[in-house]
């Protein structure tokens, strides 16, 4: 029997029961055994149980380094998790590989700008700031967060390309008429989108450089063309099932897992 775990934080697990239950349904049979484990209990569980693989849906790459040292197969790998979940590391990765990044700074010298914590996700801990007074207020309210600053770009929404095993599966455009953030979780409208060849090639390049299993690559649509916003790991699937339910993207991911253990 090939034994595996699917891992989320307690908070994220509540929002992602569909993903968890789908994986449990598809990865419990005569060959595979999958269990859900809370992220806080992962190290303890692995120490006392034989585990062959882990589907990690958290954001702490240090936990993955522990698993890697034990020879456990991880989906996604340490590099993907580390780069995708630190917005400044993402910027450096994009810059080093000559990709279309948004100008990013560690200080707030140009206004207006977008102020983001390096570890935020889902549109949280993101602020539109007009001056240094606002920056200092936000820093005072969040003393434990590290921030980056990005130029504010007028845009027509953003596009997420879902990448599985280095190939583009589907693309979805998000657009908000109420907020400077286009996130679906914050009320952004969504629709299927046909990305340009160049966008797809860029997403493929990113996925292959990271050797990522299942990620999203987010592009901002500006007047001057696209800019890459973020790399999403873990990437959610709600938008896909809303717009294209016949595309069972979790099943495709699980099939990839089965083939690569």
- Sorted by where each begins, the domain ranges of the chain are 2-75, 104-151, 154-252
Can you tell me the distance from the alpha carbon of 96 to that of 148, in angstroms, rounded to the nearest whole number?
18
What is the DSSP secondary structure assignment for residue 13, as one 8-state letter?
H
Give 122's contacts (C-beta < 8 A, 6+ positions apart): 183, 185, 186
Q: State the CATH class of domain 2-75.
A: alpha beta
In this predicted structure, what is the pLDDT of residue 184? Answer: 43
Bridge partners of 56, per DSSP, are 7
Average pLDDT over residues 207-225: 97
Q: Does domain 154-252 have CATH number 3.30.930.10?
A: no
Q: What is the pLDDT of residue 182?
A: 57
What per-residue confidence (pLDDT) applies to 198? Answer: 98
pTM recorded for the entire structure: 0.95
Helix pair angle (17-26, 249-259), 10° resolution: 50
Instruction: Provide the β-strand partners of residue 162.
Output: 170, 216
| pLDDT band at 124; cut points 50, 70, 90 | confident
Query: How confident is the prediction for the chain on average, in pLDDT?
Result: 95
């Amino acid at each position: 029997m090939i034994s595996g775990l699917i891992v989320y934080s307690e908070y994220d697990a509540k929002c992602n029961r569909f993903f968890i239950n789908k994986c449990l349904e598809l990865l419990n049979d005569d060959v595979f055994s999958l269990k859900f484990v809370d992220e806080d209990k992962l190290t303890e569980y692995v120490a006392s149980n034989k585990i062959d693989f882990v589907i990690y849906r958290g954001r702490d790459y240090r936990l993955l380094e522990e698993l890697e040292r034990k020879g456990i197969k991880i989906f996604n790998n340490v590099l993907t998790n580390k780069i995708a979940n630190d917005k400044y590391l993402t910027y450096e990765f994009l810059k080093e590989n000559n990709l279309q990044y948004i100008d990013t700074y560690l200080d707030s010298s140009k206004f207006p700008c977008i102020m983001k914590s390096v570890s935020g996700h889902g549109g949280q801990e993101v602020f539109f700031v007009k001056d240094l007074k606002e920056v200092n207020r936000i820093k005072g309210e969040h003393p434990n967060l590290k921030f980056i600053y990005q130029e504010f770009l007028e845009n027509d929404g953003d596009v997420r390309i879902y990448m599985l095993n280095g190939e583009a599966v589907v693309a979805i455009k998000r657009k908000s008429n109420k907020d400077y953030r286009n996130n679906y979780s914050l009320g952004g409208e969504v629709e299927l989108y046909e990305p340009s060849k160049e966008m797809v090639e860029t997403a493929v390049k990113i996925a292959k450089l990271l050797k990522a299993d299942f990620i999203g690559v987010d592009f901002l649509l500006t007047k001057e063309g696209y800019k890459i916003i973020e790399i999403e790991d873990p990437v959610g699937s709600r938008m896909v099932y809303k717009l294209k339910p016949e595309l069972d993207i979790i099943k495709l991911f699980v099939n990839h897992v089965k083939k690569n253990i």
